[in-house]
């Protein structure tokens, strides 16, 4: 069968007005990163053992795990060859898509994700220098995971029930899960893979609870992999997604570990049981903040995969007619299809930009913390909370939009859109559930509003609150800058409303937590629109800066994408703009007109824009989105792999169907 490229895609690529490779280098943060990614792709693609003859969807739950863990350790050896060993992961690694080839190898998730991505970085961030020297050795036998969430407690960390009680006679901590709800639940790799675990537990000394601390616990024998005494561990079973990861449960029954196994970079327990407090009580949450920061970039990469699949499919798929006297048109020519997909393109770039900005912010604040300056830590925490929450929810919604844009074929697992959706949907919950994170940001916003009322200095990201209080309204302008100012007006207005509601409940005699609960809908809403203003401002600012460094042709397209993102969200939030800004009905109609113009301007470059993501077919893992556009051929090729097609007549006919037919005939 010929594998020539689909004519529609060839024609689309001829329309492209910019240098796709130039945009690829922008996305990869430089040509060197692009070259490194391609080198790694080529190296790994040549390892035949990593590629399956049978799609994993046809494997059992047990077979999926065993196949994934086999491939995971091949990948781990490769990472070590590229000087990216899990033993060398630092808390300052840069977000990257260099290792995106793994998305194609696993289709679901690498079962060593927590081992490589969180276990070692948490030790690097929270362990003392002596502990790091001992635990981060290149020949370490530890395969790790991170256990915080319990069967009965997730987001409410103070409610965690696992205890670590200091025994001064033996210089040990004794770990216990006192009841069923205390069992650790969900850690990736815990079920069957990990032999070591970073455990979040309540520290108890001489009858006094000192709150949550992290402990390194060996849970399985390094040689036999049998659970150690006092350990009950297993896997939690099938999930909506992530089924190549053995998420597990963990219980402790008087499990003893040395005192030196408490991570002691910021806090210590001395030999006599003396508790040395941390300089700041939020220092222990550094690993979680870092993970939230890294997630934003990961979500950008997943959304770019979904957008690539849906845009290419829409260029190949012909359905119905726009004009009755013409042939069936590409569905990408329908404005409604452009409306579904082009915001996905723009959002992927927005998340990439914001993820990198958030990473740089994290690095600067972390450097300040190491110098003893904690001033910016509350802002960093609030930013990580709200950006992770909104980006994960947006990405999931937009991936689903891509699936729906592919019609019934998008429902096939071979499209890979359901798997990408399951991946992003999980991110709404893990490392902080959406509403909980938005309410944490709301606490920061309430303090900021109070400071603004008292004319206290404000951090740059909330400085607009001071201008709002002074009633420095700007006349509406239908420009990117005008839209950004409009979102700041909405954010300030909703923050004020939330604060006033909270104060009214307090004046009526409610205690603070009751007042907070009754105000939670407004508080969540205020946090969401504040985050939206951040995304718009940061994306547009970076777009303008990037346009000064690239060719004119690429700059034009990037500006169109940036403006489309802003106009799209202005129209989505036009009701709020009418309430809180000086926008008029006529202004909204102008925005609607401009939105249509932007869709038309971006249309000729749609395929070029997804091609610039430079995602290999092996990473896309999609019958609908391959570079050659052979959609229908690939769908049939994939269907032929179904075990049900291995025999002309399935045995069920003789067992169940034929007896009924014969009985009816009689």
What number of helices (H) and strands (E) belong to the chain? 25, 11
Active-site annotation holds for 379: no
Q: Enumerate long-range contacts of 229-233, CB under 8 Å, 24 or more apart.
A: 229/255, 230/175, 230/254, 230/255, 230/256, 231/255, 232/183, 233/190, 233/191
Between the alpha carbon of residue 282 and those of residues 202, 270, 594, the distances in Å are 15, 21, 46
How far is it, in rounded angstroms, from Cα 457 to Cα 192?
52
Contacts of 384 (CB under 8 A, 6+ apart): 289, 292, 293, 358, 362
In degrees, rounded to 5, the angle at the alpha carbon of residue 247 between the alpha carbons of residues 143 and 211 is 80
How far is it, in rounded angstroms, from Cα 44 to Cα 48?
9
DSSP type of residue 155: S
Among candidate residues 12, 150, 431, 559, the one labeled active-site is 431
How far is it, in rounded angstroms, from Cα 458 to Cα 464?
9
How far is it, in rounded angstroms, from Cα 202 to Cα 205?
10
Between the alpha carbon of residue 342 and those of residues 302, 594, 640, the distances in Å are 15, 14, 33
The answer to whether the CB of 111 falls within 8 A of the CB of 246 is yes
Helix (H) or strand (E) holding 343: helix 335-370
The answer to whether the CB of 261 falls within 8 A of the CB of 171 is no
Question: Which residues are catalytically annotated?
Answer: 431
């Amino acid at each position: 069968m010929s594998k020539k490229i689909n004519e529609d895609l060839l024609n689309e690529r001829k329309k492209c007005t910019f240098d796709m490779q130039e945009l690829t280098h922008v996305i990869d943060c430089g040509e060197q990163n692009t070259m490194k990614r391609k080198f790694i792709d080529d190296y790994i693609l040549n390892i035949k053992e990593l590629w399956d003859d049978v799609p994993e969807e046809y494997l059992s739950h047990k077979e999926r795990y065993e196949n994934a863990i086999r491939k995971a350790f091949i990948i781990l050896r490769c990472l070590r060859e590229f000087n990216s060993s899990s033993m060398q992961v630092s808390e300052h690694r840069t977000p990257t898509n260099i290792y995106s080839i793994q998305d194609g190898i696993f289709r679901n998730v690498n079962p060593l994700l927590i081992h490589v991505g969180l276990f070692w970085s948490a030790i690097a961030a929270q362990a003392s220098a002596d502990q790091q020297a001992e635990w981060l050795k290149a020949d370490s036998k530890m395969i790790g995971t991170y256990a915080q969430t319990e069967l009965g407690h997730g987001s409410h960390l103070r409610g965690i029930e696992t205890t670590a009680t200091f025994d001064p006679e033996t210089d040990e901590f004794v770990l216990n899960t006192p009841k069923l709800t205390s069992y650790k639940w969900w850690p990736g790799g815990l079920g069957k893979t990990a032999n070591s675990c970073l455990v979040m537990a309540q520290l108890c000394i001489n009858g006094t609870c000192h709150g949550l601390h992290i402990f390194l616990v060996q849970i399985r024998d390094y040689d036999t992999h049998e659970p150690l005494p006092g350990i009950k561990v297993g896997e939690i079973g099938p999930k909506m997604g992530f089924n190549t990861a053995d998420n597990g449960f963990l219980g402790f029954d008087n499990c003893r570990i040395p005192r030196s196994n408490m991570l002691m970079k910021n806090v210590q327990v001395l030999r006599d049981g003396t508790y040395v407090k941390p300089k700041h009580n939020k220092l222990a949450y550094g690993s979680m903040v870092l993970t939230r920061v890294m997630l934003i970039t990961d979500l950008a990469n997943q959304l770019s995969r979904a957008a690539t699949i849906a845009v290419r499919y829409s260029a190949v798929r012909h359905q119905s007619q726009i004009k009755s006297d013409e042939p069936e048109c590409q569905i990408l020519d329908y404005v409604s299809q452009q409306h579904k997909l082009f915001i996905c393109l723009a959002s992927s770039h927005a998340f990439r930009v914001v993820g990198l900005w958030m990473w740089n912010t994290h690095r600067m604040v972390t450097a300040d913390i190491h110098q003893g300056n904690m001033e910016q830590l509350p802002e960093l925490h609030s930013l990580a909370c709200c950006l992770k929450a909104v980006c994960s929810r947006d990405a999931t919604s937009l991936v689903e939009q891509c699936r729906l844009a592919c019609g019934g074929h998008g429902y096939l697992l071979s499209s890979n859109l359901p798997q990408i959706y399951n991946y992003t949907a999980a991110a709404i919950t893990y490392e902080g559930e959406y509403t909980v994170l938005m309410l944490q940001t709301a606490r920061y916003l309430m303090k900021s509003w109070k400071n603004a009322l008292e004319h206290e200095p404000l951090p740059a990201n909330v400085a607009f609150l001071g201008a709002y209080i002074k009633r420095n309204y700007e006349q509406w302008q239908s420009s990117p800058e005008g839209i950004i100012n409009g979102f700041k007006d909405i954010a300030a207005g909703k923050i004020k409303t939330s604060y006033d509601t909270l104060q009214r409940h307090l004046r009526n005699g409610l205690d603070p937590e009751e007042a907070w609960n009754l105000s939670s809908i407004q508080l969540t809403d205020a946090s969401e629109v504040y985050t939206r203003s951040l995304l718009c401002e940061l994306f547009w600012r970076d777009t303008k800066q990037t346009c000064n460094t690239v060719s004119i042709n690429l700059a034009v397209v990037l500006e169109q994408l940036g403006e489309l993102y802003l106009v799209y969200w202005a129209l989505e939030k036009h009701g709020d703009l009418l309430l809180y800004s000086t926008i008029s009905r006529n202004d909204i109609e102008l925005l609607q007109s401009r939105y249509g113009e932007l869709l038309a301007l971006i249309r000729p470059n749609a395929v070029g824009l997804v091609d610039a993501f430079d995602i290999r077919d092996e990473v896309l893992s999609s019958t609908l989105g391959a570079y050659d556009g052979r959609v229908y051929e690939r769908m049939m090729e994939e269907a032929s792999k179904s075990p049900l097609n291995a025999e002309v007549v399935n045995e069920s006919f003789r067992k169940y169907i034929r007896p009924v037919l014969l009985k009816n005939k009689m």
